[in-house]
Amino acid sequence: MASLALDHVTKRYGRETVLDDVSLSVADGEIVSIFGPSGAGKTVLLRLIAGMAEPEEGAILVDGSDVIDVAPEQRSVGMAFQNFALFPHMSAFDNIASPLVARRLGRDGIEDGVQKIARLLKIDHVLGHAPRALSNGQKQRTALARALVAAPKILLLDDPLRNVDAKLRFEMRLELPRLLERFGSTVLYVTQDYREAMALGRRIAVLVHGRIAQFGTPDEIYDRPANVEVAELFGDPGINLFEGHVEAGRSGMVAAVGGMRLPLAPGFERIAGRSVTIGVRPEHVGFAAAGTEGAVAARVAALLPLNDRMVRLLVTEDGRELYTSREAGGAAMEEGARGHVVADPAAIVVFDRETGRRIAPRSAGFASPALQENP
């Protein structure tokens, strides 16, 4: 176990900058998700930490000391690759045993270690098989076992659930947190799936275009995304975004979007008149039969069940579309039903139209640390 820090790390391939001045600090034993769209530089980040590539600038610190000059085999890192990268000419047993062999454990030590982790991951019955004789799920577990078996200080998981089927992915999403907890390693978990990122990481680093767009807890990132781009990466259906401006309403500030007037939480007085982008997540949008003041009339254009939720596509009088999402089984709304859009003022996120950055409400009197804007 160890703390891990990336300090102003920049990595270029030729003229292309893949990671741009990335700083990240992970506490000992912490599980951090690295989340971002493909091509954001997530895998490269892991490669740098594992020692497979070197950054052009910056330092990688493990327990406070720079490891860039340390060879990969001496970094005490475990890594599970997205494509598994199993050794095709070795049995599953030998694959898993390889970190123990490197640590010169005796025959018994190796046997014990492999059996233990294999039982834990339920692959003890296929240890004699060659990788090509394993199912995708077994391959993935073998790769995971190989990464875990020597209880590395730092565990790097590169989208380990990407290449397995949906059922297995679901199972593993439940199983992995307990497993990782048990080993106590410092974990970086790369994924392209925001749900995985939120389920597994105590904190999430959102990587976009080689930069860390936001680093925070899942709730922070979901509820108070640093910018429009981050907001759009989380949630399904995605966040509803409208362009409008902030103005004074009858009882506090409102966001004016066309004819719609959405009341805002207190604290936006200073940006009256500013052009903004308004974001509100589907689960915070209500659809009430009776409209309150400023609420805009809309009709249900489509109903789409999504997992355990019911998603409605609403079309407002002035032709804007937005999604709402409620637990299924509530008051049924039929297609074509008419009503009014209401949104929870506290859940409305306001972004600066030009920069895309979130504008935090400024509370008079007490400042909540959670509401501070990301630097």
CA gap 2, 216 in Å, rounded: 20
Given the rule CB under 8 A, which of 70-78, 181-189, 210-218, 273-281 is the region that contacts another protein? 70-78
Given the rule CB under 8 A, which of 61-69, 134-142, 166-174, 212-220 is the region that contacts another protein? 61-69
Given a contact cutoff of 8 angstroms between Cβ atoms, the answer to whether 82 and 161 are in contact is no
Minimum Å distance from CB 112 to another protein?
Answer: 18
Given the rule CB under 8 A, which of 101-109, 117-125, 247-255, 317-325 is the region that contacts another protein? 101-109
CA gap 300, 294 in Å, rounded: 19
Given a contact cutoff of 8 angstroms between Cβ atoms, the answer to whether 218 and 245 are in contact is no
Residue among 15, 38, 69, 107 that touches another protein (CB under 8 A): 69
Minimum Å distance from CB 187 to another protein?
Answer: 15
Question: Does position 284 bind another protein by CB under 8 A?
Answer: no
CA gap 215, 32 in Å, rounded: 9
Minimum Å distance from CB 37 to another protein?
Answer: 21
CA gap 309, 328 in Å, rounded: 5
Question: Does position 16 bind another protein by CB under 8 A?
Answer: no
CA gap 110, 160 in Å, rounded: 24
Question: Does position 77 bind another protein by CB under 8 A?
Answer: yes
Residue among 40, 44, 48, 58 that touches another protein (CB under 8 A): 58
Residue among 7, 111, 317, 344 that touches another protein (CB under 8 A): 7
Question: Does position 23 bind another protein by CB under 8 A?
Answer: yes
Question: Does position 201 bind another protein by CB under 8 A?
Answer: no
* Segment 28 to 57, residues that bind another protein, using CB under 8 A: 47, 50-52, 54, 57
Q: Nearer to another protein by C-beta: 43 or 316?
A: 43
Residue among 81, 194, 222, 242 that touches another protein (CB under 8 A): 81
Which tokens in the block code for residue 219? 């709730």
Question: Does position 8 bind another protein by CB under 8 A?
Answer: yes
**N- to C-terminal Cα distance for the chain?**
29
Residue among 146, 153, 224, 358 that touches another protein (CB under 8 A): 146
Residue among 1, 27, 61, 151 that touches another protein (CB under 8 A): 61
Given a contact cutoff of 8 angstroms between Cβ atoms, the answer to whether 353 and 277 are in contact is yes
Question: Does position 157 bind another protein by CB under 8 A?
Answer: no
Minimum Å distance from CB 41 to another protein?
Answer: 17
Residue among 15, 89, 167, 250 that touches another protein (CB under 8 A): 89
CA gap 372, 375 in Å, rounded: 9
Question: Does position 13 bind another protein by CB under 8 A?
Answer: no
CA gap 56, 100 in Å, rounded: 32
Q: Nearer to another protein by C-beta: 57 or 243?
A: 57
Question: Does position 83 bind another protein by CB under 8 A?
Answer: yes
Strands 252-257 and 240-249: antiparallel
Residue among 2, 86, 246, 349 that touches another protein (CB under 8 A): 86
Minimum Å distance from CB 158 to another protein?
Answer: 9
- Contacts to another protein by CB under 8 A: 5, 7-8, 23, 25, 47, 50-52, 54, 57-59, 61, 66, 68-69, 71-79, 81, 83, 85-89, 98-99, 101-103, 146, 150
